[in-house]
Amino acid sequence: MNRIICIGAAALLLAGRAAGVSAQEYPSRPIRMLCPIAAGGGLDVIARAIAPGMSDNLKTSVVVDNRPGASGAIAMEVTAHAAPDGYTLVIMSVTALIYPELNKTPYDLTRDFAPVTQISASPYVLAVYPSLPVNSVAEFIAYAKANPGKLAYASSGIASLQQLASELFSSMTGVKLVHVPYKGVGSAFPDLIAGRTQLTISSTASLAGLFRSKYLRPLAVTTAQRTPMMPEVPTMIESGVPGFVVTQWHGLLAPAGTPKPVIERIQRSVATVLKGGDVLARLAADGTDAVGSTPAQFAAHMQAERAKWIKAIRDAGITIQ
């Protein structure tokens, strides 16, 4: 009986604390934004682009805390176990959805986090070695079907978004491609330039220099609409692959149980920052679009993306050795 009373008292105490956080003037102390990669990486750039503006409109410091390692799982674990009071957040990418499907994690993605907002989205692009006798996606598909298993695509590693995007493309078009994984996008460039691998589906920002130097030829972008960064390049959908949409997106999560008013306050802050000219220009320089969705919209987006990539992983038989 005493144990039941203690448990009930503990539950009431937690509820009271949550109510107190939602009722008090938030925020009243610095906010920590965990970043799952080292300083200077793409996700870190996004975090540091929005943190100063958030600090200004929340009237408190928003500190980017880099916690690299385990493909982002370290930062995610710290956030999952943090107090649900709005003072610990984690910035994440689509990789955070993929990793738990192939690895054991000390957190549950759907149980331990509260979606706050999708911050941004970056297009991917199908690019080929320029000596390949194709100038469109339709020509590429025809050529690949005439040469099954002879074309190799480069990715930044097993279960990377580049691999999943390429396997999704293969599944939707019926072409057979060979996967060549590398330790990062940059590591793949020498073989792509030399033609030892013939294609990649990767971010427009990472491949922009290779396009300018004519080392690679872009065939189609993977967004629903054409990107201002490469307005002359058609989308996959325009190119005859209906429903093919792949973006490298970034979002913000809080620990599960964070009061709704606090989450909404953070979301409004990010949305306001994303309307600023300086932030928009900084994102646009990398071909990245600002989003600033509501918590409900971001939750729906995460659910749809998770379902899509789980299916892609299973269809391709991807495993971590």
Which pLDDT does position 286 carry in this prediction? 79
* 232 domain-assigned: no
Distance of CA 14 to the CA centre of its chain: 32
Question: Which of the pair, 8 or 83, is modelled with greater confidence?
Answer: 83
Mean pLDDT of 290-313: 96
272 part of a folded domain:
yes
- The partner residues of 284 in beta bridges, in order of sequence, read none
Residue 65 within a domain? yes
**8 Å CB contact between 162 and 192:** no
Which tokens belong to 234? Answer: 């058609």
Same domain, yes or no: 127 and 178: yes
Residue 226 lies in a domain: no
| pLDDT over 70 at 162, yes or no | yes
172/163 Cα distance (integer angstroms): 14
Could you tell me if residue 110 is inside a domain? yes
Task: Report the alpha-carbon distance of residue 254 to residue 232 in Å, rounded.
Answer: 39
pLDDT at 11 over 80: no
In a domain, 20, yes or no: no
For residue 11, tell me if it sits in a domain.
no
Domain end residue (candidates: 206, 221, 236): 221
Q: 78-127 pLDDT, tens per residue? A: 999 999 999 999 999 999 999 999 999 999 999 999 999 999 999 999 99
Report residue 47's pLDDT band, with 50, 70 and 90 as the boundaries. Answer: very high
Report the 3 state secondary structure along 83-119: CCCCCEEEEEECHHHHHHHHCCCCCCCCCCEEEEEEE
Q: What pLDDT, on the 0 to 100 scale, is given for residue 103?
A: 93
Q: Other CB atoms closer than 10 Å to residue 33's CB: what's the count?
A: 22
Percent of the chain with pLDDT over 90: 83
| Predicted confidence (pLDDT) at residue 5 exceeds the cutoff of 70 | no
**pLDDT at res. 18:** 46
Co-location of 185 and 174 in the same domain = yes
**pLDDT above 70 coverage of the chain, percent:** 92
- The beta strands (E) that lie in 193-269 are given as 199-203, 217-221, 247-255
Same-domain pairing of 127 and 213: yes
Say if residue 106 is in the same domain as residue 138: no
CATH value at residue 106: 3.40.190.150
| Cβ contacts of 199 within 8 Å, gap of 6 or more | 126, 127, 128, 129, 132, 140, 151, 152, 153, 154, 166, 177
Looking at 173, 205, 221, which one is the last position of a domain? 221
Answer yes or no: is pLDDT of 44 > 50: yes
| Same domain as 83, residue 167 | no
Q: What is the pLDDT of residue 74?
A: 96
How many CB atoms sit inside 10 A of residue 132's CB? 18
Task: Give the residue-averaged pLDDT of 250-275.
Answer: 97
Residue 280 three-state SS: helix
Dump strand ranges (E) for 28-110: 31-35, 62-66, 88-93
- 15 against 151, higher pLDDT: 151
| Whole-number average pLDDT of the chain | 91
The predicted structure's pLDDT at residue 60: 97
**Maximal C-alpha separation, the chain:** 78
CB burial of residue 174 (10 Å; 0-12, 13-18, 19+): exposed
171 and 308 together in one domain: no
Q: Are residues 128 and 147 in the same domain?
A: yes
- What is the distance between the alpha carbons of residues 315 and 293, in angstroms, rounded to a whole number? 30
Residue 24 pLDDT class (50, 70, 90 cuts): low
- Judge if 144 and 191 occupy the same domain: yes
| Domain of 274, in residue numbers | 28-121+247-316
Residue with tokens 């040469």: 147
Total domains in the fold of the chain = 2
Nearest to 53 by CA among 266, 231, 230: 266
User: Is the bond preceding 27 in cis, omega lying within 30 degrees of 0?
Assistant: yes
Question: Within a domain: residue 206?
Answer: yes
Do residue 114 and residue 151 come from a single domain? no
Domain containing residue 152: CATH number: 3.40.190.10
Tell me the whole-structure pTM to 2 decimals.
0.87
Query: What's at 295, amino acid-wise?
Result: P
Of the three residues 152, 187, 221, the one that is the final residue of a domain is 221
Side chain identity at residue 25, one-letter code:
E
Same domain? For 106 and 255 the reply is: yes
Confidence band of 321 (pLDDT split at 50, 70, 90): low
Task: Say whether pLDDT at 4 is over 70.
Answer: no
Based on the domain organization, do 131 and 89 belong to the same domain? no
Preceding peptide of 295 cis, ω within 30°: no
User: How confident is the model over 171-219, as pLDDT tens digits?
Assistant: 999 999 999 999 888 899 999 999 999 999 999 989 999 999 999 999 9
- 101 and 128, same structural domain? no
pLDDT digits (tens, 9 = 90+) for 213-249: 999 999 999 999 999 889 999 999 999 999 999 999 9
Residue 194, classed as helix, strand or coil, is helix
